[in-house]
Amino acid sequence: MFKKILIANRGEIALRVIRTCKEMGIKTVAVYSQADVNAMHVRMADESVCIGPAESTKSYLSIPSIISACEITGSEAVHPGYGFLSENAKFAEILGDHEIKFIGPSVSHINTMGDKINAKNKMVEFGVPCVPGSNGAVNNIEDARITAREIGFPVLLKAAAGGGGIGMKIVFDDPQLETLFFQAKSEAKKSFNDDTIYIEKYLEKPRHIEIQVFGDGKGGGVYLGERDCSIQRRHQKVLEETPSPGVSAEEIKEIGEISANAISKMKYEGAGTIEFLYEDKNFFFIEMNTRLQVEHPITEAVFGIDLVKEQICVASGEGMSFSQESLEPKGHAIECRINAERLPTFSPSPGNIKEFHSPGGIGIRMDSAIYNGFTVPPHYDSLIGKLIVHADDRQMAVRRLARALDELIIDGVYTTLDLFKEILNEEQFKSGEYNIHWLENWLTDQAQ
Ligand code: MV4
């Protein structure tokens, strides 16, 4: 087992990883920017290294600075958290060159899944159902037209290097295609320096269901249920829950086994997420994430598994502590992402936390790195905490969440807390009948 791990991240996820390391008897090294001198992850780690100025490109994204911090502290492995360098194949490769273990999948798996066309081809190879569309890149407008007519409008133009919706264009009919095709290309070129575009049938009212997978890197692979991440705004998830109120356990078993099989066949190592759109009782693969995700705690709650511990065990060569047969989900879990943002515009609201009181009691988990007197810096994303509740069933989880939200106090900065109290009172949330557009439509209605 590793003796010392460096956490190449900040905020609640850095703290999350440090907690597991401590429980495993592993020493921790925090890295921090000049804006994070007083951050909780720095206080909680055994050692810390300042890696640069506030700007993340010069600190949390600076590969040379992080490699130096590893060398100085004698760290044997790096946990990247989510965001920042977590899906950066170059970073994983350079760590490998320095004989430092990247806690995550191989460079080649990161590369494959980073290109959405390659990812889709891999999934097709392993029998994972995908959205109907072009076979790979669409290189010119003539091919685009032929493919679009074949699959039928509406279609969606996507960037191969994309994800997160950048460069995506919905095309409703033939006359729109040419303009949007070249717009998609130029946006993709600008954002990713890669203008490769592919086409899919546009699904109009899907849910976003993701399967948590885990591989031992030697041909063993399992799935740990699903997460319904449909409640989102502008591609930012707001609330996630498991199990999904809109998909049956039998359907999850089927797509879960298909997903676990794919992970096994490709000898995937560590935690991953296979993302699907779900519409009219069918699953369609869209992307795979090769990292631990923000919303992983709801999976941990229902399966009673520490995913970070399993990541570290697999990375160190000890292997996973559980098998598919040993897994049994229990109850229902919901996560609320609490952002320092001002409603109704969701504009960032950094500043000094004057008061913070975390809810407690049975079935409550608060993952946060803020504290009384902490100043939320303006340089990073606005997530300041995640409230996770777990209960025997969905109705009880919703009640527990309402209770916990009432207990949670954050003063000094604006937060998205009140939004959750309102969502919980909505019939479509209570009935579970929502899709990826529900929250944005609801917010628009509220503004009228
Ligand atoms: C789609 C889609 C509908 N049809 N693909 C958005 C970002 C990227 N991860 C994939 N996305 C979508 N792909 C087809 N063929 C709708 C979306 C989409 C979406 C997906 C998941 C969660 C939220 C979303 C919000 C808008 C659009």
Rounded to whole angstroms, the Cα distance separating 21 from 312 reads 9
Q: Is 184 left (phi over 0), alpha (psi -120 to 50) or beta?
A: alpha
pLDDT at residue 163 in the model: 77
Is any ligand 1 atom within 6 A of the Cβ of residue 134?
no
At which residue do the structure tokens 């949330």 appear?
429
pLDDT at residue 162 in the model: 83
Is any ligand 1 atom within 6 A of the Cβ of residue 106?
no
pLDDT at residue 165 in the model: 80
Give the gyration radius of the chain's Cα atoms: 22
Is any ligand 1 atom within 6 A of the Cβ of residue 203?
yes
Q: What are phi and psi of 61, to 5 degrees?
A: -105, 5
**Residue among 243, 237, 170 nearest 201 (CA):** 170
**Which residue's C-alpha comes closest to atom 7 of ligand 1?**
165
* Burial zone of 261 (CB within 10 Å; 0-12 exposed, 13-18 middle, 19+ buried): middle
Question: Do the first three CATH levels of 4-103 and 132-201 match, i.e. the same topology?
Answer: no
Task: Give residue 170's Cα distance to chain centre.
Answer: 24
pLDDT at residue 239 in the model: 98
Q: Which atom of ligand 1 is nearest to the CA of 229?
A: 22
Residue to substitute in 168, 205, 229, 234 for testing ligand 1 pocket (most ligand atoms within 8 angstroms of CB): 168
Question: What residues does each domain of the chain span?
Answer: 4-103, 132-201, 207-447
Q: Which atom of ligand 1 is nearest to the CA of 164?
A: 7
**pTM of the complete model:** 0.97
Cis peptide preceding 344, ω within 30 of 0: yes
CA-based angle 133:89:96, to the nearest 5?
Answer: 150
Rounded to whole angstroms, the Cα distance separating 77 from 5 reads 5
pLDDT in tens, 190-212: 999 999 999 999 999 999 999 99
Is any ligand 1 atom within 6 A of the Cβ of residue 167?
no
Could you tell me the two tokens for 163?
A: 């994800």
Question: Is the Cβ–Cβ distance between 170 and 154 less than 8 Å?
Answer: yes
Q: Which atom of ligand 1 is nearest to the CA of 287?
A: 9
Whole-number Å distance, alpha carbon 177 to ligand 1 midpoint, is 19
Query: For the chain, what is the total number of helices (H) and then of strands (E)?
Result: 15, 22
Rounded to whole angstroms, the Cα distance separating 163 from 289 reads 10
Whole-number Å distance, alpha carbon 165 to ligand 1 midpoint, is 7
pLDDT at residue 276 in the model: 98
- Within 10 Å of residue 130's Cβ, how many Cβ atoms? 16
pLDDT at residue 8 in the model: 98
Is any ligand 1 atom within 6 A of the Cβ of residue 286?
yes
pLDDT at residue 448 in the model: 86
CATH code for residues 207-447: 3.30.470.20
Residue to substitute in 120, 158, 436, 437 for testing ligand 1 pocket (most ligand atoms within 8 angstroms of CB): 436
pLDDT at residue 327 in the model: 97
Is any ligand 1 atom within 6 A of the Cβ of residue 156?
yes
- Within 10 Å of residue 327's Cβ, how many Cβ atoms? 16
Q: Which residues of the chain have pLDDT under 50?
A: none
CATH of 132-201 given 3.40.50.300, 3.30.1490.20, 3.30.499.10, 3.90.400.10: 3.30.1490.20
Classify domain 4-103 by CATH architecture.
3-Layer(aba) Sandwich (3.40)
Whole-number Å distance, alpha carbon 30 to ligand 1 midpoint, is 35
Crossing angle, helix 417-424 and helix 394-407, to 10 degrees?
A: 150
Q: Which of 207, 227, 291, 365 is catalytic?
A: 291
pLDDT at residue 176 in the model: 95
Residue 291 catalytic? yes
Tell me the one-letter amino acid at 59: S
pLDDT at residue 166 in the model: 81
pLDDT in tens, 346-403: 999 999 999 999 999 999 999 999 999 999 999 999 999 999 999 999 999 999 999 9
Is any ligand 1 atom within 6 A of the Cβ of residue 200?
yes
Whole-number Å distance, alpha carbon 276 to ligand 1 midpoint, is 9
CA dihedral of residues 374, 377, 383, 385 (deg, nearest 10): -10
Is any ligand 1 atom within 6 A of the Cβ of residue 228?
no
How far apart, in Å, are the Cα atoms of 208 and each of 264, 278, 287, 293?
23, 6, 11, 14
**Which residue's C-alpha comes closest to atom 11 of ligand 1?**
165
Whole-number Å distance, alpha carbon 229 to ligand 1 midpoint, is 11
Is any ligand 1 atom within 6 A of the Cβ of residue 208?
yes
